[in-house]
């Protein structure tokens, strides 16, 4: 077996193990093919943003929580 093939198998095994490890909420993270950060487990499709977009969104954490609280009666929840 060629060294290149062995390296590819090792890479795929590592990727597979990383995908198996999810957070306590059933979510997992992966670097997308285009270099974005993808969150799996929120819905049918992953949510993918570039790192600067995630950082802007994370900076708004308190604003998002306040908005959800202020609009709680208008918002629906999705049960799995």
Using one digit for the tens of pLDDT, what is the confidence trace for 11-51?
A: 888 887 776 665 557 899 999 999 999 999 999 999 999 99
Cβ within 8 Å of residue 31, ≥6 positions away: 37, 38
pLDDT of residue 45: 95
pLDDT of residue 73: 96
65 assigned to some structural domain: yes
63 assigned to some structural domain: yes
Which residue range(s) make up the domain with 60? 24-80
Domain count for the chain: 1
2 assigned to some structural domain: no
Examine the pLDDT at 8 and tell me if it is beyond 70.
yes
80 assigned to some structural domain: yes
9 assigned to some structural domain: no
């Amino acid at each position: 077996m060629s060294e290149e093939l062995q390296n590819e198998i090792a890479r795929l095994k590592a990727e597979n193990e990383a995908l198996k490890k999810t957070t306590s909420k059933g979510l997992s993270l992966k670097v997308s093919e285009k270099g974005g950060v993808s969150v799996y487990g929120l819905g049918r499709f992953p949510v993918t943003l570039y790192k600067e977009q995630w950082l802007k969104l994370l900076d708004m954490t308190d604003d998002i929580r306040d908005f959800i609280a202020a609009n709680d009666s208008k918002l629906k929840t999705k049960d799995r």
